[in-house]
Structure 1
Amino acid sequence: MTMTFLPKAVLEAPDEAIKEKQWESALKQHWYEPRTKTDTKLLMMIGKCRQHEEASLLYEVMQSDGLKPTIDVYAALVSAFGQSGQLDKAFSAVAEMKPISVILICCIKLRCFELIRGILAEMS
């Protein structure tokens, strides 16, 4: 297995764009590879900029890239919709998230910790 190390500046560029609220440039990086953690930060920033349509688009892209949404992704998406006044979409995202939360709570109550590890591993 060959590992390619990218310069620190390349790896940190999306984070820098996010800090500077340059969400459009962060999304357009030609070398950018989707990562749930970075995309979650982007969703939060897009929400602060009240760009709910862009948040929806990023969420769809994440899913099409095969990234499974984590609780953090759902929380960022709900926040993006909420800050834009799109409460119907925020409630829809919450409804999509609920089954995951419910199953985790059930596993905890039943002390099925091995199942929790599997669910969390699948989510990440």
Structure 2
Amino acid sequence: MSNKKEIIIKATKLKKSFITGDTEQTIFENLDLNIYRGDFTVIMGSSGAGKSTLMYSLSGMDRPSSGEVVWNDKTITSLSDDRLAIFRRKNCGFVFQQIYLLDKMSLMDNVLTASALSGTSKKDSVKYAKELFELVKFH
């Protein structure tokens, strides 16, 4: 039996840059990253260091300028926009820096609105949401 940990997210030679006028601003370049199943991974840095940009690139919310992102042996950087949206819906969850909740709805209803897109039954979605709330000690 192997003690080798399973890589669930692998980024290879990622680059993200923006062009403003004649100037290219590189946020990160030649970035290699492995995230292993069961590990707790933290991305830290000062404001403006590129943490959110990296998370968007790793999740497919934004495309890197170059490089490759692989989730569970599936290369997501080559997926079409429609396939990428389906991938994110099934595999990614985000807590944004700014609060993007519908203010007329409870937190549970906000979570259930997102899960409605997955085709999961409401009963199963409520059960799963409660498990997640318990994980983060939200009551």
TM-score (norm 2): 0.28
The structure whose Rg is larger is: 2
| Higher fraction of helix | 1
Q: TM-score, normalised by structure 1?
A: 0.30
